[in-house]
Amino acid sequence: MQTVVENISNVSHVIQLAVAPVFLLTGIGAILSVLISRLGRIVDRGRVLREQRKVVDEANKSERKVLTIRAFWVHWSIVFCTVSALLVAVVIAVLFLASEVHFDPTHTVSPFFILAMLSLIAGLVCFLREIYLSTHTMEIDD
């Protein structure tokens, strides 16, 4: 009976440790949703401009170039945020695996979590660059 109580205590402790990374995964998922939506808008606008290629003017070429650069930055933002989410998932898996196999996960979890944060930071920096490009290259008609 004592072992069952200890096992339940161990599992509940691991779940408590894994709750923060799970919330982090939810946040990264929300960021990815925004990024995918932005990429979709860029692609849709690029298709419209491609269809208007018959009326080739300098503004059309310029906008297509900016859309290509924006798509590049959104792409890398999605890549970095996805890698971050995968690393957070690995952290959660290692926490549970360590509980089952009875080893100290600190030396394994710490590097993965640090890499996840660095990847998330890189993704957010790429996102900021794309936002800068989208807001500083648009023309507002008077």
User: Domains in the chain: how many in total?
Assistant: 1
Report how far residue 39's alpha carbon sits from residue 9's, in angstroms, rounded to the nearest whole number. 45
User: Mean of the pLDDT values across residues 63-77?
Assistant: 94
Predicted local distance difference test score (pLDDT) of residue 88: 94
pTM here is: 0.81
Q: How many other CB atoms are found less than 10 A from the CB of residue 45?
A: 16
Predicted local distance difference test score (pLDDT) of residue 140: 52
User: What is the span of the domain harbouring residue 101?
Assistant: 2-136
Q: Which of 15, 37, 36 is nearest to 85 (CA)?
A: 36
Predicted local distance difference test score (pLDDT) of residue 28: 96
Q: How many other CB atoms are found less than 10 A from the CB of residue 119?
A: 21
Predicted local distance difference test score (pLDDT) of residue 61: 81
Query: Does 141 map to a domain?
Result: no
Query: Does 82 map to a domain?
Result: yes
Res. 142: pLDDT tops 50: no
The secondary structure element, H or E, covering residue 45 is helix 2-51
Predicted local distance difference test score (pLDDT) of residue 99: 79
Predicted local distance difference test score (pLDDT) of residue 57: 72
CA angle 94, 127, 78 (to 5 degrees): 45
Predicted local distance difference test score (pLDDT) of residue 11: 67
User: Mean of the pLDDT values across residues 99-113?
Assistant: 87
Res. 141: pLDDT tops 70: no
Q: How many other CB atoms are found less than 10 A from the CB of residue 95?
A: 18
Predicted local distance difference test score (pLDDT) of residue 104: 85
Query: Does 142 map to a domain?
Result: no
pLDDT one-digit tens code per residue, 84-103:
999 999 998 898 888 788 88
Res. 22: pLDDT tops 80: yes
